[in-house]
Chain A
Amino acid sequence: MALGLKDIGLAMELIRGIGVTVRHFFQPTVTIHYPKQRREPYPRFRGLVRWDKEKCAACVLCAHYCPVKAIQIVTGEGKEGQKEVLYYQIDAARCMYCGLCSEICPVGALSHSPYYELAVYERQDAVYAQERLAGEPPIIRYR
């Protein structure tokens, strides 16, 4: 079987392609070994929404404006007759992390945290209410 001009061209192109992959062997690694190594998110990262009870003015604007209605608030009268939040809940399974609630909150009670590992085993664990809305969320490990 004689080698034609076409076969030489084919071989040249294959060598050119392999040349690219070989060159990449000697370039620095870009992947990270995820569960062992973690990448720090950037400061503006929109992770799980956190709620600050002290700052909240109970205006219900977030629950009203949320496009997917992930926020539920029950407001009532406090001891001194002031309006206060009796119950606050964010359903992280419904939340689409659009950032509108923290953008519109007039008192800055809502903020995005850098937490992003939010997989849970039970549906109700994804519902964050009251005390679970502040601080670090409990991260459920693989069992």
Chain B
Amino acid sequence: MITTQEFHVNLGPQHPSTHGVLKLNLVLDGEYIVDCEPVLGQLHRGMEKMAEGMHYGQFIPLTDRLDYLASAANNLAYVLAVEKLMGVEAPERAKYIRVIITELQRIASHLVAIGTWGLDLGAWTVMLYTFRDREMVLDLFEMYCGARLTLNCFRVGGTTYDFPPGFIEKLKEFLDVFPRRVDDYEALLTRNPIWLSRTKDVGVISAEDAVAYGLTGPNLRASGVNWDIRRVYPYEIYDRVEFDVPLGSRGDAFDRYMVRIQEMRQSCRIIKQALEQLPPGEVMLDLPTISLPDKRQFPNNFPAVVRHFHLLVQGYAPQEKEIYLGVENPKGELGFYIVSDGSAYPYRLKIRAPSFINLQILPKVLKGALLADVVCILASLDPVLGEVDR
């Protein structure tokens, strides 16, 4: 008499295709997956707790380390949340600069998503091309704020820097070149029979499931749900620029790929319009309770020195209230829920991390899938483990 038994396989945490330290406990019946249990928390740093011991301004560089492929977008989400808590608004020029930098960041993040996904499925060339073009974006970041990956460039009440001379010309150069580069990726992948057979009808997520599991970002829109926070609750300048929200129809891995490709084209459109509308002026709010005084008046202007030290040692204390603010990150809705008790430190800071919530649907999607498709489905959800584990 022949008996069969299920086979257990550990995928990760040291597996190059899990995009970080994700471990999947898979139960297999032959080639098919019976059960999957993601094991999270290997990159846990306790960021939410760390925030409780820091001033509001000190926490900004740590938000870089959430979704490290889109650090400026995390900065923006946090900074906007604190601005909402304080009841202030950044100057116009700062808003435009923030949107331009975050849209560049969205392009960079999607380039990594598509490049590494291609690499996982054996399309090695795409990764080389996407990383070459991501390098152009990173050069722009280095020119703007001095860092390439963890930017830490936005502050409560504005941005740290204005655009340096030569930045806008270089950005326009990039915008001219980039749509043709996206055509190249599409020529390599979109109608490639191997790519199509690996992604079409693989990892299908229905619209009902996507909404029920709380998916956001490209993963939700690929299922055909028209939900983009930039459109639904416009923040910064998104109500003044025209852009389309790309939608999928079937909710399979291929749709998630197409949504990301089209989002990169839309980001280019947004940056072009923002550059046309870019107003002159200050990039930092001049509000004594928040913004640091101009250092050129030190040490003769004594009240300014005192204000400088007061703001950095004591911090600024918002009113006693709680707020939630979510913005559209490349991965989905990144939200910050901040409870203030009226002191200079947050009483509680909760991060709604899009990758973490997008990953929850994985066991459901993987059930019945082939083992070879696990890597494809995981890459199509595009999790970043820095954000999943926080």
B150 within 8 Å of A (CB atoms)? yes
Contact with A along B131-153 (1 / 0, CB 8 A): 01001000100111111001010
- Nearest Cβ in chain A — how far from B213, in angstroms? 34
Q: Assess whether B61 is in contact with A98, with CB atoms less than 8 Å apart.
A: yes
Contacts of B193 in A (CB 8 A): 9-10, 13-14
Q: Assess whether B144 is in contact with A13, with CB atoms less than 8 Å apart.
A: no
Find residues 88-114 in chain A having any chain B CB closer than 8 Å to their own CB. Answer: 96-100, 103-104, 106-108, 112
Q: Assess whether B146 is in contact with A65, with CB atoms less than 8 Å apart.
A: no
A13-B146 contact given A67-B61, A104-B312, CB 8 Å threshold: no
| A108 to B142 CA separation, bound complex (whole angstroms) | 21
A99-B298 contact given A104-B312, A106-B308, CB 8 Å threshold: no
| A106 to B311 CA separation, bound complex (whole angstroms) | 12
Contacts of A96 in B (CB 8 A): 61, 150
A76 within 8 Å of B (CB atoms)? no
| A16 to B186 CA separation, bound complex (whole angstroms) | 10
- Chain A interface residue count: which class? 20 to 34
Query: CB-nearest residue of chain A relative to B189?
Result: A17
A135 within 8 Å of B (CB atoms)? no
| A98 to B142 CA separation, bound complex (whole angstroms) | 13
Query: CB-nearest residue of chain A relative to B166?
Result: A42
Q: Assess whether A44 is in contact with B161, with CB atoms less than 8 Å apart.
A: yes
B309 within 8 Å of A (CB atoms)? yes
A19-B187 contact given A9-B193, A64-B312, A64-B313, CB 8 Å threshold: yes
Query: CB-nearest residue of chain B relative to A12?
Result: B191
| A64 to B139 CA separation, bound complex (whole angstroms) | 32
B59 within 8 Å of A (CB atoms)? yes
B40 within 8 Å of A (CB atoms)? no
A100-B142 contact given A10-B193, A106-B295, CB 8 Å threshold: no
| A108 to B243 CA separation, bound complex (whole angstroms) | 43
- Nearest Cβ in chain A — how far from B194, in angstroms? 9
B62 within 8 Å of A (CB atoms)? yes
| A30 to B295 CA separation, bound complex (whole angstroms) | 40
Q: Assess whether A99 is in contact with B147, with CB atoms less than 8 Å apart.
A: yes
- Chain B interface residue count: which class? 35 or more
- Nearest Cβ in chain A — how far from B183, in angstroms? 9
B184 within 8 Å of A (CB atoms)? yes
| A98 to B147 CA separation, bound complex (whole angstroms) | 8
Q: Assess whether A107 is in contact with B298, with CB atoms less than 8 Å apart.
A: yes
Q: Assess whether B54 is in contact with A42, with CB atoms less than 8 Å apart.
A: no
Q: Assess whether A61 is in contact with B187, with CB atoms less than 8 Å apart.
A: no
Contact with B along A1-34 (1 / 0, CB 8 A): 0000000011001101101110010000010000
A97-B164 contact given A13-B192, A59-B309, A67-B61, CB 8 Å threshold: no
A30-B132 contact given A17-B192, A44-B144, A99-B147, CB 8 Å threshold: yes
Q: Assess whether A106 is in contact with B59, with CB atoms less than 8 Å apart.
A: no
Contacts of B144 in A (CB 8 A): 44
Which residue, A45, A61, A99, A107, has most C-beta atoms of chain B within 10 A?
A99
Contact of A61 among B132, B161, B312 (CB under 8 A): B312
- Nearest Cβ in chain A — how far from B52, in angstroms? 13
B160 within 8 Å of A (CB atoms)? yes
Q: Assess whether A44 is in contact with B61, with CB atoms less than 8 Å apart.
A: no
B residues contacting A by CB (< 8 A) are 54-55, 58-62, 64, 125, 129, 132, 135, 139, 142-147, 150, 152, 160-161, 164, 184, 187-188, 191-193, 292, 295, 298-299, 305, 308-309, 312-313
Q: Contacts A21-B125, A44-B143 given; 18 further ones with Cβ under 8 A?
A: A13-B191, A14-B193, A20-B188, A30-B135, A42-B143, A44-B161, A46-B145, A46-B147, A65-B58, A97-B147, A98-B61, A98-B150, A98-B152, A100-B152, A106-B305, A106-B309, A107-B298, A108-B295
